[in-house]
Amino acid sequence: MSTKPTPTESAVRSPLPRRLTAAAALTALEGLAVAGPGVADLYTAVSGDGDSLQAATGGVTLLVLAALPLVAARGLLLGRRWSRGPALITQLMSLPVAWMLWTAGGAMKAAAVALALAAVGVTALLVNPKATEALGIGPAEQAR
């Protein structure tokens, strides 16, 4: 007896709006931007090129901080309603970092502008009605 597999929830759902996919991509990029220096710090700790304990602690801290946007981005791509909260928290945390980069001056101003634009852009994408409805948290869902 063979039984037909039942369609999964993701197969039944309509495709994600481009806004949500863009928000997920930018959020993942932010996570990777934090993870990169974390991996570099861990490499420094293992290779013994600097203060091993400080590099290891910094590397682990950055990797833990990178987990939030990366997990949120994955959830957004899968259309999970819980993922909007962590993605928005990531954007709120990015704004003070952008300000600190701006006050550092020099080449950091370009990074500050890019980070601030990404944070504001992702926030706008995540509060868009089409994105909230795709995540199951729009006005249509509240009426049920």
Q: Tell me: pLDDT of 9 over 90.
A: no
What is the overall mean pLDDT for the chain? 88
User: What residues contact residue 32 under an 8 Å CB cut-off, 6+ apart?
Assistant: 66, 70
Across the range 103-120, mean pLDDT stands at 94
Q: Tell me: pLDDT of 105 over 60.
A: yes
Tell me if the pTM is above 0.75.
yes
User: What residues contact residue 8 under an 8 Å CB cut-off, 6+ apart?
Assistant: none
